[in-house]
Amino acid sequence: MGDIETHPRIEQIDRVAPALRVLLGEPNAPALVRWQSEPHRNAIVIDARTDVSDTIEAIRTAIALAPKPVAVTVTGIGTFVASQPEPPGRVAGKVAFVTGAAQGFGAGIAEGLAAQGAYVVVADMNVKGAEETAHRINETVGAARCIGLSVNVTDSGSLQEAMRKTVLRFGGIDIVVSNAGVLKAGSVKTQPVQDFEFVTRVNYTGYFLVVQHAAPIMAALHAADPRLMTDVIQINSKSGLEGSNKNGAYAGSKFGGIGLTQSFALELIQDGIKVNSICPGNFFDGPLWSDPENGLFAQYLRAGKVPGAQTTDDVRRFYEAKVPMGRGCTVPDVLRAIYYLVEQQYETGQALPVTGGQVMLN
Ligand SMILES: NC(=O)c1ccc[n+]([C@@H]2O[C@H](COP(=O)([O-])OP(=O)(O)OC[C@H]3O[C@@H](n4cnc5c(N)ncnc54)[C@H](O)[C@@H]3O)[C@@H](O)[C@H]2O)c1
């Protein structure tokens, strides 16, 4: 990414690039915009103003006066090169930032969105896993749609850096999936407060920080074209809708997440940002449950938690029987909820259960 981090007007990029997606794109189809330090021979050249709004206005005026360029150089900031995203797909051309996407639900969500035409950042503190997942998805969908980036959602600086890299690579963010989450079960009578605070920090504070850093970038797209809306989608849990025995740290963090979703939704709709949570039931096929060594099926079998169970399959059947629809939640179930929330233009602040009927709203 060159020496951009040291530039004095670096913060203008977060607003200039999303505006250029609109100015260099088609109606209702923002372009992808990639930053580069080198000049581009077909770029029009604009001087950066002290105030970023003035910079954007100068670019808008210059573009209106000439045939639409493919690139814009903003003196001292760099060159932004536009390309038109490739259709088709339900989220064609959208830029998605998915946290905790190296494995589990997050990896499945990233792959599903990329297969439907999105450009996806696989963001995870397991950077090797993130890069491998991004590479695997690119091979599966047969196009360079994903990049893997290192992100710790509890660390403001790491989020700022990853989101800036996203803006430099794609020009903005249309969909944030706040998926990274952890679980440490334990009785309130004995659970160390460090465990409680760890879960709270990732699941609750982490969601706050993700939105804090993404919202200004998403707002910049809406400011450039008020018809365009963007989406924050938090992967919550059925444990965000009803309590979970000896699992209070997790359930509390997820209940809190719904309070954040409702509050962010009220504030951010003025920026065209919809904010919703999805509350999946148990993902029995994911590593949390099915890891042969440390998965919950293996743990519950060893602990004798399910009376009469001889194998992990017996434990699984016991938990499946608790679901009216008789099975666990899958990645395609969650993806359908994501597409609904993105396509729905008249809903925000909701918590959408995807539990096979296990949890029903009042
Ligand atoms: N597994 C389930 O049964 C289930 C059910 C309902 C909801 N959920 C929710 O779905 C989400 C994903 O769950 P999963 O089961 O796929 O999890 P997982 O444990 O399989 O994967 C979580 C990913 O998040 C990453 N991560 C953890 N802490 C992070 C941090 N601080 N910063 C960045 N990345 C971090 C991990 O490296 C990992 O790649 C979580 O929010 C979870 O609460 C899971």
Q: Ligand 1, residue 151: give the atom nearest the CA.
A: 33
Q: What is the pLDDT of residues 186-198, one digit of tens each?
A: 999 999 999 999 9
Q: What is the pLDDT of residues 81-136, one digit of tens each?
A: 999 988 789 999 999 999 999 999 999 999 999 999 999 999 999 999 999 999 99
Identify whether 250 is a catalytic site residue: yes
Could you tell me which of 331, 241, 326 has the C-alpha nearest to residue 283? 331
Name which residue sits closest to atom 32 of ligand 1, judged by CA. Answer: 152
Distance 84 CA to ligand 1 centre (A): 33
User: How does strand 119-124 pair with strand 95-99?
Assistant: parallel
| CA 309/CA 160 separation, integer angstroms | 48
**What does each C-alpha distance from 321 to 243, 292, 318 come to in angstroms?**
19, 21, 5
Residue 6, pLDDT above cutoff 90 = no
Name which residue sits closest to atom 7 of ligand 1, judged by CA. Answer: 237
Quick one: average pLDDT of 155-181? 98
Residues of each domain in the chain carrying CATH 3.40.50.720: 95-281
351 neighbors 241 (Cβ within 8 angstroms): yes
Per annotation, catalytic residue among 119, 204, 207, 250: 250
Q: Which class is domain 95-281?
A: alpha beta
| CA 234/CA 236 separation, integer angstroms | 6
- The DSSP string of 140-186 is HHTS--EEEEE--TT-HHHHHHHHHHHHHHHSS-SEEEE-------B
| CA 291/CA 311 separation, integer angstroms | 14
Segment among 63-67, 229-233, 341-345 with least mean pLDDT: 63-67
